[in-house]
A = this chain, B = another copy of it.
Amino acid sequence: DGKWYENLSFRGYAQFRYTALYGDNAEGLNVPNDRSVSDTESFLIRRGRLILSGDVSDHLYIYAQSDYAGSTGTGDFALQMRDLYADIALDADKEFRFRVGQSKVPFGFVNLQSSQNRAPMERPDALNSAVEGERDIGAYFYWAPKEKRKLFSKLVKEGLKGSGDYGVFGIGAYNGQGLNRGDLNGQPHYVARFAYPVEFKSGQIMEFGLQGYTGSFVSRTSNIAGVGTPSSPEHGNKDERMALTYVLYPQPFGIEAEWAWGRGPQLSDDMTTIETASLQGGYIQANYRIKQGEASWFPFIRYNHYEGGRKFGTNSPWDNVSEVDVGLEWAPNKDIELTLMYTHTFQRTNTSAAPYDEVENADRLGLQLQWNF
């Protein structure tokens, strides 16, 4: 019951990005979450986030995050919500919590890790294609014992690029059609996750995770020239994945690895129907953290692989991704970060429009300035 500005606070961050393409192959590239990978784009504000959050009372914590670069289906950028949720704790230590509203779907460590903290520009396709935008409208129950809550918190605060606290155990239901959207089949998706960070005597911290979700996804369809609009089951296609997570936090050497298997909506080879097809993929990332006073250097390398449907794409086309990213994040202080990332694409499907061409052996260089406040 203090002053409003003591209960609530605003903070945020923004990412300004430019991507250079090398060679003719690169001009065909289309990366679902990164508009700057295009020969017609110049500068992009990839994320422009403003977060209002706070403990309103002993049992209620609220979180509301808006984004500048929301697309509402029209050409111009507009403001959109990313998160809008309440945490209702059942106990004083907040070990048992319900989270209700629009929030991150607890599937994949890399999806839960904030983009403010992630080193590579975008999340790997195999994990992110499960929940593009990472969030959905739903309700979850999270449980984590007090000491693990402290550890989750420390992993973010000390710059170790943790995921934040989504519980040691989480379970929930959500619409399943993506953030800022209603459901289309009246059947929620269900998700469960187990994540266990453990601190060794050496000071090294590892995290093990297991997660899965199941539901039915209704694909958005549109006309394909010469083929027509693909047909799709009225209540959608089966959409389910499970994934394993291993993280060694960077003190100074770190590893992040996740792999997902499942099945989901995918356009048939003749492009006439959207069917349920199997999918798999993941990533492995190695990184190294160097601290010098206020500054930090964070070189990383990541291999990213996916083969399956891109359900959130119009007509849910097949999607084959095989890329390696090599980059360096440099933060002169905690307010500013500069990232340089070179990506070699062995293969990447252009999922933006039929005939969904494969781009091979393409190279690009991304440059990003992030400011935190």
A88 at the interface (CB under 8 A from B): yes
Looking at the assembled complex, report how far the CB atom of A278 sits from the nearest CB atom of chain B, in whole angstroms: 26
A348 and B188 alpha carbons, distance in the complex (Å) = 27
Residues A343-369 near B (CB distance < 8 A): 369
- The oligomer's copy count stands at 3
Most buried by B among A3, A44, A70, A174: A70
Which residues of B are found within 8 Å of A290, using beta-carbon distances? Answer: none
Interchain CB contact under 8 A, B84 and A68: yes
Is there contact, CB below 8 Å, between B73 and A75?
A: yes
**One of B43, B75, B173, B371 near A60 (C-beta < 8 A):** B371
Instruction: Flag whether A184 is at the interface (Cβ < 8 A).
Output: yes
Q: Are A43 and B373 in contact (CB under 8 A)?
A: no
Please give, as numbers and ranges, the residues of chain B lying within 8 Å of A176 by CB-CB distance. 42
Q: B70 near A78 (CB under 8 angstroms)?
A: yes
Q: Which residue of B lies closest to A39 (CB)?
A: B186
Band of interface residues on A: 35 or more
- Say yes or no: A188-B42 contact (C-beta < 8 A), given A14-B84, A88-B336, A100-B369: yes
Q: Could you give, for residues 157-201 of chain A, a 1 whenever the CB lies within 8 Å of some chain B CB and a 0 otherwise?
A: 000000000000000011110001111111110000000000000
Select which of B4, B7, B77, B371 is within 8 A of A181 by beta carbon: B77
Q: In the assembled complex, how far is the CB of residue A177 from the closest CB belonging to chain B, in whole angstroms?
A: 9
Contacts of A139 in B (CB 8 A): 16, 43
Which chain B positions have C-beta within 8 A of A371? 56, 60, 62, 86, 88, 100
A81 contacts chain B at the CB level, 8 A cutoff: yes
Question: A148 at the A/B interface (Cβ < 8 Å)?
Answer: no
Contacts of A54 in B (CB 8 A): 373
A79 partner, pick from B44, B80, B101, beta carbons under 8 A: B80
A40 in contact (CB, < 8 A) = yes
> What is the CB-to-nearest-CB distance from A370 to chain B, in angstroms, rounded to a whole number?
9
Q: Which residue numbers of A lie inside 8 Å of B, CB to CB?
A: 3-5, 7-12, 14, 16, 35, 38-45, 48, 50, 52, 54, 56-57, 59-60, 62, 64, 66, 68, 70-81, 84, 86, 88, 100-102, 137-139, 173-176, 180-188, 333, 335-336, 369, 371-373
